[in-house]
């Protein structure tokens, strides 16, 4: 069930719910329009497909955004930034995207660079891009309002582009600008105004600011934070980051009325009550009585939850217009439908083992919410990580769809190359596995984009009648085919995992583990162990050789890996494009193929191929690996048409594993072909 109301402040707070044993489900909300949707499935995966058909299908991310990403709040200068990049390269860890946080700015003002601490930052970014890497940086939706000649604030002010007080004359001068915009205090060293993205002119001016600023500091994607919107110190004596020696203190203080303090007190309020005062709706954000929209027709009380959603769309549009390519936006605040424009990270976690485990649950939830581009801050944001925790978290984070290592100001550096050989080598090895699997991950995103499927899913989505699978939250699937079982405990010496009914092949050894009714298993682990990966019998996936980033890995040959089920069958798909063009499906510039195995043959049938011969189409299939063949194979032939008798292929067989060499045949990604083997 979806109950869609933009009055919900946070999931399960203003729009609260409770289950009973009747069974029944009770919802409570503070108001607004309520749209009720029932999705009947019948399978869990069908429900998500139906849900995303209503709210909007997830966007198709650029290929490079599936690579490893490195960030921190607190590089503080370009030397530390360069050291993080160089240390990653020292261990040959694949690395696609480099970030900077607000500390690269001039006193935390967006659309600025601190040229003393980050001299020639744009030139350095261009050097990284010349090596195939990409750049993302942060934009917070709060612009300093009391600094002379700060152009971004003035340009938005010129179009009346900020959230305003309904009756500015009733508000003290310290809490508004001269056009009645509501002022708060966030990261810049002064009062800030908040763009009203419900206004058309604000959206257009925001896009213009982004596009023009790219001429100063290059980017490939954007990260929008603090967009609930967050405000520091609301209704308090002073914000936590207001300089203690600068008096008089000031903070945004909201009036006493039914919008700021509605008759029904919500959980978000009661949770933060103190003995000195009850919490209010506006605490940590702006006042509910603000007005938004082209005609001031919306109360912030009614559209608060839409702030991040309304910022995401123009930000993505600006990024794509500025770069001329498909881009990616990472947003902290989301709403049903945000997945059309943005991915998400799971917020400010802590460097502790329980937060690593919790990230799996969050990743599964956001896939169900229609936002499959999702991950947590690898190794933890707050507090110092440890080498063991960071190694295990890098191993888990290699299977987040959004794979980014990030931590905070004051914590020790935790880039994967900055914590010693154990972390560096383990990070390299697991990221190489991720990069090999990126064609399969990209195919899953194409399915999510076109059909609304999850990319990462819980086991019960594939095994809905398996009661054990229903409770598993320490394992997860990429699509229907790849089962990931990470190491999640400090000092762990044994890994327990569950295999639902079917054939499962160890991804690394190709050994078969068969489960007739679902089975709990254990394996010993030590300091050198990786997560367990199992390929499900009945699946075909496409792999590619790894490289130091996706610019180079995309040029490598492709491998087809097929795992046979109990009926000696398997199926899968393949999607490929240039990885960067906007709307490749709409333009027809992509390859899509169906792959099936039955009756001792593999068929790859191209269902769509691009109209031209672009460079990205010249990646060939190099190998075919088939798991689960019981008989001795005597010969293997390639047939490229029904009238073609076929030509012999070189092959080797090791037990149940058949490996066929395709490289000499020049089979491109848009060739329909068949490989047959005889016993």
Q: What angle do CA 581, 125, 350 make, to 5 degrees?
A: 90
Sheet (strand 134-139) strand order: 329-331, 221-224, 134-139, 97-100, 69-70, 404-405, 377-378
- Which of 228, 302, 355, 543 is catalytic? The answer is 228
* Inter-residue contact 587 to 662 (CB < 8 Å): no
170's tokens: 């009733």
609's tokens: 């191929």
Following DSSP, what letter does each residue of 82-145 receive, concatenated? HHHHHHHHHTT----EEEE-GGGSSTT-TT---TTTSTTHHHHHHHHHHTT-EEEEEE-S-EES
Q: How far apart are the first and last CA of the chain?
A: 52
Of 308, 431, 457, give the one whose Cα is nearest residue 378.
431
Enumerate helices (H) and strands (E) in the chain, giving the number of each. Answer: 15, 37
Q: How far apart are CA 610 and CA 580, in angstroms?
A: 15
225 is catalytic: yes
Following DSSP, what letter does each residue of 323-368 receive, concatenated? HSS---EEESS--TTGGGT-BEE--S-BSSHHHHHHHHHHHHHHHH
State which H helix or E strand residue 626 sits in. strand 621-627
Q: Are strands 558-563 and 539-544 parallel, antiparallel or unpaired?
A: antiparallel
Q: What angle, 0 to 180 degrees and rounded to 10, lies between the N-to-C axes of helices 44-55 and 353-368?
A: 70
Q: How far apart are CA 124 and CA 113, in angstroms?
A: 13
Query: How would you class 42 by CB atoms within 10 Å of its CB: exposed for 0-12, middle for 13-18, buried for 19 or more?
Result: exposed
State which H helix or E strand residue 17 sits in. strand 16-20
Mapped onto helix, strand or coil, the DSSP state of residue 527 is: coil
State which H helix or E strand residue 437 sits in. helix 421-451
Q: How far apart are CA 554 and CA 533, in angstroms?
A: 23
- Which of 225, 355, 377, 462 is catalytic? The answer is 225
Query: Positive or negative CA dihedral for 322, 323, 326, 332?
Result: negative
Number of Cβ within 10 Å of residue 365's Cβ equals 14
* Inter-residue contact 182 to 173 (CB < 8 Å): no
Of 609, 610, 621, give the one whose Cα is nearest residue 668.
621
Taken as a whole, the chain contains a residue count of 679
Q: How far apart are CA 416 and CA 187, in angstroms?
A: 28
State which H helix or E strand residue 329 sits in. strand 329-331
Place of tokens 């190359």: 417
Query: Positive or negative CA dihedral for 484, 488, 492, 496?
Result: negative
Q: How far apart are CA 655 and CA 666, in angstroms?
A: 28
Mapped onto helix, strand or coil, the DSSP state of residue 2 is: strand
Q: What are phi and psi of 460, to 5 degrees?
A: -70, -15
Place of tokens 């090895």: 429
Q: What is the DSSP letter of 45?
A: H
* Inter-residue contact 102 to 73 (CB < 8 Å): yes
Q: How far apart are CA 71 and CA 406, in angstroms?
A: 5
Residues 6 or more apart whose CB falls under 8 angstroms from that of 198 comprise 292, 293, 294, 298, 303, 306, 310
228 is catalytic: yes
Active-site amino acid positions:
225, 228
């Amino acid at each position: 069930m979806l109950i869609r109301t933009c009055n919900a402040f946070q999931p399960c707070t203003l729009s609260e719910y409770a289950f009973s044993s009747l069974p029944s489900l009770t919802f409570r909300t503070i108001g607004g329009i309520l749209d009720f949707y029932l999705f009947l499935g019948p399978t869990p995966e069908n429900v998500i497909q139906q849900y995303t058909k209503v709210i909007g299908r997830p966007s198709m991310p650029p290929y490079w955004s599936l690579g490893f990403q490195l960030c921190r709040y607190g590089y503080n200068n370009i030397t530390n930034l360069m050291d993080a990049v160089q240390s990653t390269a020292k261990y040959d860890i694949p690395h696609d995207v480099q970030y900077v946080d607000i500390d690269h700015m001039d006193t935390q003002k967006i659309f600025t660079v601190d040229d003393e601490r980050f001299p020639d930052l744009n030139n350095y970014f261009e050097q990284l891009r010349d090596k195939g890497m990409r750049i993302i940086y942060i934009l917070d939706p709060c612009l300093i309002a009391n600094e002379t000649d700060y152009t971004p604030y003035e340009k938005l002010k010129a179009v009346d582009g900020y959230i305003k007080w309904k009756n500015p004359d009733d508000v003290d001068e310290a809490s508004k600008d001269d056009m009645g915009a509501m002022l708060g205090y966030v990261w810049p060293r002064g009062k800030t105004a908040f763009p009203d993205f419900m206004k058309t002119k604000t959206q257009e001016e925001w896009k213009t600011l982004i596009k023009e600023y790219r001429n100063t500091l290059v980017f490939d994607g954007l990260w929008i934070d603090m967009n609930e919107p967050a405000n520091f110190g609301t209704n308090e004596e002073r914000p936590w980051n207001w300089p203690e020696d600068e008096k008089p203190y000031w903070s945004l203080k909201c009036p006493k009325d039914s919008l700021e303090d509605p008759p029904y007190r919500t959980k978000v309020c009661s949770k933060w009550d103190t003995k000195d005062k009850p919490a209010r709706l506006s605490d940590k954000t702006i006042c509910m009585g603000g007005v938004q929209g082209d005609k001031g027709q919306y109360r912030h009380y009614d559209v608060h939850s839409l702030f991040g959603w309304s910022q995401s769309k123009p930000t993505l549009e600006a990024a794509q217009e500025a770069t001329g390519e498909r881009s990616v936006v990472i947003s902290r605040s989301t709403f049903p439908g945000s997945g059309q424009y943005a991915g998400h990270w799971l917020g400010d976690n802590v460097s502790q083992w329980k937060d690593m485990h919790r990230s799996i649950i969050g990743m599964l939830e956001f896939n169900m919410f229609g936002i499959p581009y999702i991950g947590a801050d690898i190794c933890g944001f707050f507090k110092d990580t440890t080498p063991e925790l960071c190694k295990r978290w890098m191993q888990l984070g290699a299977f987040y769809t959004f794979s980014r290592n990030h931590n905070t100001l004051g914590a020790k550096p935790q880039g994967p190359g900055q914590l010693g050989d154990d972390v560096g080598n383990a990070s390299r090895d697991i990221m190489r596995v991720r990069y090999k699997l990126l064609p399969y991950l990209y195919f899953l995103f194409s399915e999510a984009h076109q059909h609304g499927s999850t990319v990462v899913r819980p086991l019960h989505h594939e095994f809905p009648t398996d009661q054990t699978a229903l409770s598993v939250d320490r394992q997860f699937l990429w699509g229907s085919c790849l089962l990931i079982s990470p190491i999640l405990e400090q000092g762990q010496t044994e890994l327990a995992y569950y295999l639902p009914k079917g054939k499962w092949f160890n991804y690394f050894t190709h050994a078969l583990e068969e489960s007739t009714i679902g089975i709990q298993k254990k394996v010993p682990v030590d300091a050198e162990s990786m997560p367990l990966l199992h390929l499900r019998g009945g699946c075909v996936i496409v792999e590619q050789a790894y490289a130091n980033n996706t610019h180079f890995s995309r040029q490598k040959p492709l491998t087809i890996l097929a795992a046979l089920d109990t009926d000696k069958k398997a199926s899968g798909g393949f999607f490929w494009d240039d990885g960067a063009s906007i709307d490749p499906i709409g333009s027809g510039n992509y390859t899509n193929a169906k792959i099936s195995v039955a009756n001792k043959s593999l068929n790859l049938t191209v269902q769509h191929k691009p109209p031209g011969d672009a460079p990205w189409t010249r990646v060939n299939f190099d190998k075919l690996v088939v798991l689960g063949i019981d008989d001795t194979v005597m010969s293997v032939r390639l047939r490229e048409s029904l009238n073609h008798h076929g030509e012999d292929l070189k092959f080797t067989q090791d037990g149940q594993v058949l490996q066929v060499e395709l490289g000499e045949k020049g089979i491109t990604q848009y060739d329909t072909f068949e490989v047959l083997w005889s016993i």
